Structure 1
Amino acid sequence: MDHHHHHHEEMDNFSPNSLANGEIKTMTGDAHSCHMKMAFYFGTEATVLFDWWKFNTTTGLIYSMVGIFLLATLYEGLKYFREYLFWKSYNAIQYRSVQIPLEKESSNPVSQMVGTVLFKQPLPTMLSSFHFLQTFLHVIQITVSYLLMLIFMTYNVWLCLAVLLGATLGYFLFGWKKSVVVDVTEHCH
């Protein structure tokens, strides 16, 4: 019955006026209220991801934008790095070349030539160190991806621009090196 009473208190705090202002107000406890914007806005105050990451000044906004910009840039770099490791490993797994001398040392330069022998490498297993590394990097990538998505969902236009511009710079710096058309490491953000 207490849970039912608490639900009515939350509904009492919900009003059409809060939606008209582009925010939802909820009560969590007796005196703590939380305002969440539900429309894009230009502002110099926001809470970003955590209670301790709040700002209400232009300086705080700028510092947050720089941090978010760098995070989005590094996210794009991480996507490229994972793909680079994959293709480097894939090429190394297919064939490993070993150079062996064709003949013992001789005064004839032609007989000192070196031959190349290709050995087929075994494919990595699920418990290989490469797969563990890729799994660890995947967890970091998906975590950063969702954090960037949640930052965008603050609806603060300045923070959204920081995400977009950081991702743009990251793609500019790292995207031209991509070796495939399909991005196999993409996650939503």
Structure 2
Amino acid sequence: MKSLHLSLFFISMSKMDMSPGGDMPSMPNGTNDMQCCMMQMSFYWGKEATVLFRGWPGNSFGMYILAIIFVFFLTMAVEVLSNQPLIKPGTSPLVGGLMQAFVQFFRISFVYMVMLAVMSFNGGIFIAAVAGHTLGFFIAKFRALALVNKEEDKGSSSVRNNV
């Protein structure tokens, strides 16, 4: 009986009109069971998106803006965690390794969350991710350059004092 049901299902599916760009046709029993499981496969604009969790942000414009802000700050965190030195000289290898592993756990979790968010194919989410990566990279490199310049100023001022 089960195999008969499955074969009837596949026969009815093969007879459905699957024209490109069209809506998903109804199932033989009149429901759109497969439509709930289909994923958008091209970029689109609009607040009707599913980002990370089913039903989020939903159809609310405020929740869509919150999703964009969330993805923006998540990608900034990825870049800052990826580009910052975490271990100071003289740190124990065990403590340093544990700190790096802890940060790596969060960084890679954030990276996968951003990847899944961008796979929503929503244009606003994509732009937020790219902008967050860009600003996060800028902040990380700005801080690194400021630290290098600070160290150079310390070294040059001590040379001036000794002369």
Same fold, TM-score > 0.5, yes or no: yes
Q: What's 1:130 paired with?
A: 96
Residues 24 and 164 (structure 1), Cα distance of their counterparts in 2 relative to 1, 3 Å cut:
farther
Superposed, 1:7-156 pairs within 5 Å as: 8=9, 12=13, 16-17=18-19, 19-21=20-22, 32=33, 33-81=36-84, 84-86=85-87, 88=88, 91-92=89-90, 124=93, 128-156=94-122
Residues 156 and 15 (structure 1), Cα distance of their counterparts in 2 relative to 1, 3 Å cut:
farther
Q: Over aligned residues, Cα RMSD in angstroms?
A: 3.4
Higher strand content, 1 or 2: 1
Residue type of the alignment partner of 1:142: I
Residue type of the alignment partner of 1:129: V
> Please, what TM-score do these two structures have when normalized by structure 1?
0.59
Q: 5+ unaligned residues in a row in structure 1: which ranges?
A: 94-122, 180-189
Residue type of the alignment partner of 1:12: M
The secondary structure found in structure 2 opposite 1:41 is: coil
State the 1:24 CA deviation.
7.5
1:47-88 Cα distance to aligned partner (Å, 9 max, x none): 11112523213222211111111111111111133xx114x3
1:119-159 Cα distance to aligned partner (Å, 9 max, x none): xxxx82xxx22212211211111111011111111110001
Residues 6 and 131 (structure 1), Cα distance of their counterparts in 2 relative to 1, 3 Å cut:
farther
**Corresponding residue pairs, total:** 137
Q: 5+ unaligned residues in a row in structure 2: which ranges?
A: 146-163
2:45–2:123 Cα contact (<8 Å) kept = yes
Residues 78 and 2 (structure 1), Cα distance of their counterparts in 2 relative to 1, 3 Å cut:
farther
**In 1, Cα distance between equivalents of 2:24 and 2:104:** 34
2:50–2:57 Cα contact (<8 Å) kept = yes
Q: What's 2:159 paired with?
A: none
2:18–2:24 Cα contact (<8 Å) kept = no
The secondary structure found in structure 1 opposite 2:86 is: helix
Q: Are 1:157 and 2:123 matched, yes or no?
A: yes
> Please, what TM-score do these two structures have when normalized by structure 2?
0.67
1:96-131 Cα distance to aligned partner (Å, 9 max, x none): xxxxxxxxxxxxxxxxxxxxxxxxxxx82xxx2221
Residue type of the alignment partner of 2:51: V
Residue type of the alignment partner of 2:77: L
What percentage of residue pairs aligned between the two structures are identical? Answer: 29
1:42–1:156 Cα contact (<8 Å) kept = yes
Residue type of the alignment partner of 1:138: Q
